Chains A and B, each alone.
Chain A
């Protein structure tokens, strides 16, 4: 254990939460309500973290809102579902720890901060229809619309998403037909919400937790860059921060929670901690691997699961606040009718409508040719797609901005323009078209997941939400960009079931906790399930707060015995 005590302390509390997403705020609130003082340090100038960028989905099996609808479910079923998704890359106890505690954490925050979560109706698990423990609806929850004006001075200093329509709930979007049918949305309601600053989705979820901290007078310091943990030779007792060019030493009598998300804005870490090259991103600049820089010097162990590489586009004229390139995911758009994705051989290479599969295909390496056979790749759309659907933030019926797409009057001309073989592209589209008329995809199984219809399709399209021929000129090709998983990393710090950081000998590091996306994804392993990241953040924060307050959960032990694990 390090010993690097400062000559003086500038601030003192019991629990220091580094990071102000769901995990950091959740830990501070939990500790506070269990008699332990807490404060929050945020490096950015806004609170809310990556939580605020998300769709705000929380995947919680057997929750009270789910039960209230009469939906039969249990944490145990959720455990089996995640375990299968994980494909052996998980640790069963970590998976069980999440599923048994997520419901309890939600119960606690519902009571403590008045968190109002509701079931996202008709939203299935990814693998519903393919897995006995997947549910048709019930596990995915979202926050009710939240009045951000209640945040007072923090209203403008609480983050919203640059790419998510945070004024709408899932039913607001999905009941009229999802993003594929945006013309049918209730825009008057959206206008009212924007004017009144009523936030939904991740922005509403993050704001709910910020309000919880405000209500408790938990100090929250923005612009505070935590750069070094401080130990007394036996345990972690504080953190050194930099603020406005000077050191600030913060003493933590009972522990430090590192909840700073992951490393997506760090190209070197993407390449070497993941195996991901040239990633585009939508996350802000502070998501650069601070979890490793803080915990590495005190011996925290890291672990890795398979990478998540999305595909996105860059829209000319758009950028992030810091001037860096903004990349928008198109994963929910490439599964729409009249749209396919092809690789350099002008062939499809996966189920475009189910990105759990598709992102595993993008980074495949061909050892014989020393290439990524599926990258670069292009979305191919026809005029029908452009007339009906958005693509990469470009509304239907509107021209792509200059430099974003290639347009041609025939598929052969389109192929030639982007350097693909015209004959092969024509054959690929012809084959897709012949099956699309029957809503079948014998090659890649497109349209076989109910979730694809919900999230990646046009539910009003016939014969199927994910099928429509590419027959109407002009045709378009948009070269896609690799993109990170919105701060959902493959590599993270290993934690035990109380979210204590674990060293390379398997022992907890006294006084050090990790939470949220800073933690290795050993609950979900190979695959992801939408809503798990926010559920992890909430649950981890709660578990860390409880343990730091001297009131650790004992639920995992009892469930382990009950299940005979």
Chain B
């Protein structure tokens, strides 16, 4: 298992941050190559991503389950890739740092399965922190932009998706 925690400060009240963040589809839309987010119910969704790097485009399907809604301060989730032996989970924590500032921490863990588990985890190790930070910064940018606080664009979190594709090269 590999795990990382990354934090950002969003320049918005915690209530406004929650209004944005409680929508699962918005989380899916941050992912690279976002195609669709099928909401099965309040707790379950299926994200379809079409990720392209270096000539290869691959459809990646992710089953996402919210284990616990405890907004505006906390969400706990788990996920599983369809077709790849990768699962994981994590949590979102938010706390007010002032009337117009919210500290957000994202924790993500990834668990590789099957005979190639060491590969998923060893190669994901250097990339997961970068991915989680990019995701958190993208979330911050989108929330601030939606509230008119900032128009600064953060880079999309490509690296982990790139890992999935890069690993697929191993088998070509």
List residues of chain A with CB under 8 Å of any chain B CB.
53, 159-167, 179, 182-183, 185, 187-188, 190-192, 194-195, 282, 284, 317-321, 323, 326, 328-329, 387-388, 390, 392-398, 401
Contact = CB atoms under 8 A, between A and B. Distances in A.
A182 B114 contact: no
A36 to B, nearest CB: 33
Given A183-B115, A393-B168, A397-B85, A191 B56 contact: no
5 contacts: A190-B119, A390-B171, A393-B172, A398-B83, A398-B85
Contacts of A53: 55
A185 B57 contact: no
Contacts of A329: 172
Counting from the closest, the 3 A-B pairs by CB-CB distance are A163-B172, A162-B56, A187-B122
A517 to B, nearest CB: 17
A191 B57 contact: no
Contacts of B130: 195
A317 B118 CA distance: 24
A396 B55 contact: no
Contacts of B52: 321
B41 to A, nearest CB: 25
A48 B46 CA distance: 37
B127 interface: yes
A161 B55 contact: yes
Contacts of B118: 183, 187
Interface string B51-86: 010111111100000000000000000000001110
Interface of B: 52, 54-60, 83-85, 114-116, 118-119, 121-127, 130, 159, 162-163, 166, 168-172
Contacts of B54: 159-162
B127 to A, nearest CB: 6
Contacts of A187: 118-119, 121-123
Contacts of A162: 54-56, 169, 172
A536 B49 CA distance: 40
A317 B58 contact: yes
A160 B118 CA distance: 24
Given A188-B125, A395-B115, A163 B83 contact: no
Nearest to A182: B170
A320 B57 contact: yes
- Provide the main secondary structure of the chain A interface: loop
Contacts of A317: 58-60, 83
Given A188-B122, A192-B126, A194-B166, A326 B56 contact: yes
Given A194-B127, A284-B55, A397-B116, 14 more contacts: A159-B54, A161-B169, A162-B55, A190-B119, A191-B125, A192-B126, A317-B83, A318-B168, A321-B56, A328-B171, A393-B172, A394-B171, A398-B84, A398-B116
A401 B60 CA distance: 12
Nearest to B168: A393
Nearest to B2: A191
Contacts of B170: 165, 179, 182, 390
A185 B55 contact: no
Nearest to B162: A194
Contacts of B121: 187
Contacts of B83: 317, 398, 401
A191 B122 contact: yes
Q: Which of A167, A329, A387, A398 has its CB near the most chain B CB atoms (within 10 A)? A: A398
A91 B122 CA distance: 50
A318 B127 contact: no
Contacts of B60: 317
B171 A395 contact: yes
Contacts of A328: 171-172
A182 B169 contact: no
Contact of B119 (A161, A185, A195): A185
Contact of B127 (A163, A183, A195, A388): A195
Contacts of B119: 182-183, 185, 187, 190
Contacts of A159: 54-55
Contacts of A190: 119, 122-123
Contact of A320 (B56, B114, B125): B56
Nearest to A387: B115
